[in-house]
Amino acid sequence: MIEFQHVFKSYGRSRNILADINFRVEPGEFVFVSGPSGAGKSTLLKLIGGLEPPSRGSVHVNGHRIDKMPGRARPYLRRAVGVILQDMHLLYDRNAIDNVLLPLAVAGLERRVAATRARAAIEKVGLSGKEDLNPIEMSGGEQQRLAIARAIVNRPAILIADEPTANLDEESARKILEVFRDFNRVGVTTLIASHDRALMARYAGRTLRIEAGRFFDSAGAPA
């Protein structure tokens, strides 16, 4: 569950990027976050992942009020929310499987168990056989899938992705969306920021739209 109550966000002394945002996403939902460039889509996702604090208001994730979370509780969020940011942050000094192993090492998992899990994650995103490649040797779509494998390897309840189909051709974009749908089908709450209207229309579902400081929820007003 994700719940925003009267959330405002500005950076420093700038204008509000988000103003009085209220919505609730139930477990297992598949939601697009849409709006023009600079509208605040990334900012909204960062608030859910605890990567930015709101300026005002409350953000709840799985029953935890995360805007008030002390630093030591952050590892909770790291497990609960898988994050795929726009520039993927893959490491190019190691191969694909080591990129996926990284969050498991941080979580302190034993190496053999971690290796099994990392291989399973790589298989789920359709990259079996590419474990030993350096990400630099992979196509844009494959790198995006690798970033998804790394985000889901800790089995998060929530997956957030910022423009995961940007710079991809239509066919690769469709495949990436299918990967997200597969995780959503097994219960992972999924939020995807996009400004690709055609793509969103094809996967018609709930959309949270931010435009010129205004917020529209296709599911209607919050409860």
- List 19, 40, 61, 104, residue binding ligand ATP (CB under 6 A): 40
Residues 4-23 interacting with ligand ATP (rule: CB under 6 A) = 11, 17
Choice between 64 and 206, CB closer to ligand ATP: 206
* Length of the chain in terms of residues written: 223
Q: Which of 59/125 has CB closer to ligand ATP?
A: 59
Q: Which is nearer to ligand ATP, 100 or 151 (CB)?
A: 151
34: left (phi over 0), alpha (psi -120 to 50) or beta: beta
Q: Encoding tokens for residue 125?
A: 């995103």
Q: Which residues of the chain form beta strands (DSSP E)?
A: 2-10, 16-25, 30-34, 56-61, 64-65, 81-84, 158-162, 189-194, 206-211, 214-217
Q: Does 208 bind ligand ATP (CB under 6 A)?
A: no
* Radius of gyration over every alpha carbon of the chain, rounded to an integer in angstroms: 17
Q: Does 54 bind ligand ATP (CB under 6 A)?
A: no
39 binds ligand ATP (CB under 6 A): yes
Chain positions contacting ligand ATP, by CB under 6 A? 11, 17, 35, 37-43, 195
